[in-house]
Amino acid sequence: MPGFTPFTAPAFVLDEDDVDTDIIFPARFLLHTERKGLARFAFHDRPALLNAYASAGSPPILLAGANFGCGSSREHAVWSLDGMGLTAIFAPSFGEIFRGNCANNGIVAGAIAPEALTALQGLVADGHALSVDLAAQSVTCDGQDFAFTVPDSDREMLLAGWNTTTRILALHGQDIDAFEKAQRDSAPWLWTEEDEA
């Protein structure tokens, strides 16, 4: 996936705390295992929310309430939000696994102070777009800067366009190659011809 670059876009407000992953992606749809097309299940049981989101032009930024993405660890919730086109979510707090899944799928999950969130909600209601800069960890709107935080490892992944696996390979690929070479030499029976190809 591409690395994060600063952008300016409108936002959508979901002013509700404790929106869990079952609200984002209802459990009855978990039998769908491919990422493609999961957006159609996002907030499936909240048609008024979906209509309001579509009426707002399906913006790529979501301003959410505290503890967004709490509940189960289902990555489908993040996949469905990604399918909707969301690239950044700002809330006072997130479910921990949900936040990590966001970073692993290229979505910024930025923790922002409640008073800053309230101010941004007001600016969005007045029709202002938000400028998001992950490197600076700031949202700018109408000449005002609002700080947000993203864990350092998540920020590194998002800026570089890595997921968990590509991050490990980028940072430790040479060590892994050296280990595999040494293991092939010392324990060749562990390796098949396919492994060596």
Query: DSSP letters along 163-183, please?
Result: -HHHHHHHHHHHHHHHHHHHH
Domain annotation covers residue 2 = no
Residues 108 and 18 in one domain: yes
To 5 degrees, how large is the angle CA 188–CA 189–CA 194? 80
> Do residues 181 and 97 both lie within one domain?
no
- pLDDT tens for each residue of 51-68: 999 999 999 999 999 999
**39 and 122 in a common domain:** yes
> How many domains is the chain partitioned into structurally?
2
Q: Is the pLDDT of residue 196 over 60?
A: no
- The per-residue pLDDT of the chain, averaged, comes to 94
pLDDT of 35 reads 87
Q: Assess whether 147 and 126 both reside in one domain.
A: yes
Are residues 139 and 126 both part of a single domain?
Answer: yes
Is the domain of 60 the same as that of 157? yes
Q: Which two tokens stand for residue 42?
A: 């996002």
Query: What are the E-state strand segments in the chain?
Result: 7-9, 11-14, 61-64, 88-91, 108-112, 130-133, 138-141, 144-149
- Specify the CATH number for the domain of residue 118: 3.20.19.10
Average pLDDT over residues 147-159: 96
User: What proportion of the chain, given as a percentage, has pLDDT over 90?
Assistant: 84
79-119 confidence digits (pLDDT tens): 999 999 999 999 999 999 999 999 999 999 999 999 999 99
* 121/173 same-domain check: no
1-5, 25-29, 130-134, 139-143: segment of lowest average pLDDT: 1-5
DSSP character at residue 32 = -
* pLDDT of 193 higher than 90: no
User: Domain check: are 115 and 183 in the same one?
Assistant: no
Instruction: Note whether residue 174 is domain-resident.
Output: yes
Buried/exposed 7-22: b ≥16 CB within 10 Å, e otherwise: eeeebbbbeeeebbbb
Number of neighbours of residue 63 by Cβ within 10 angstroms:
24
Give the pLDDT confidence of 90-99 residue by residue, as tens digits: 999 999 999 9
* Residue 1, domain member (yes or no): no
Same domain, 46 and 68: yes
The one-letter amino acid code at 99 reads R
d(C-alpha 46, C-alpha 89), whole Å = 18
Could you tell me if 49 and 107 lie in one domain? yes
92 and 172 inside one domain: no
Same domain, 154 and 168: no
Query: Domain of 193?
Result: 163-197
Interhelix angle for 152-160 vs 96-104, to 10°?
Answer: 20
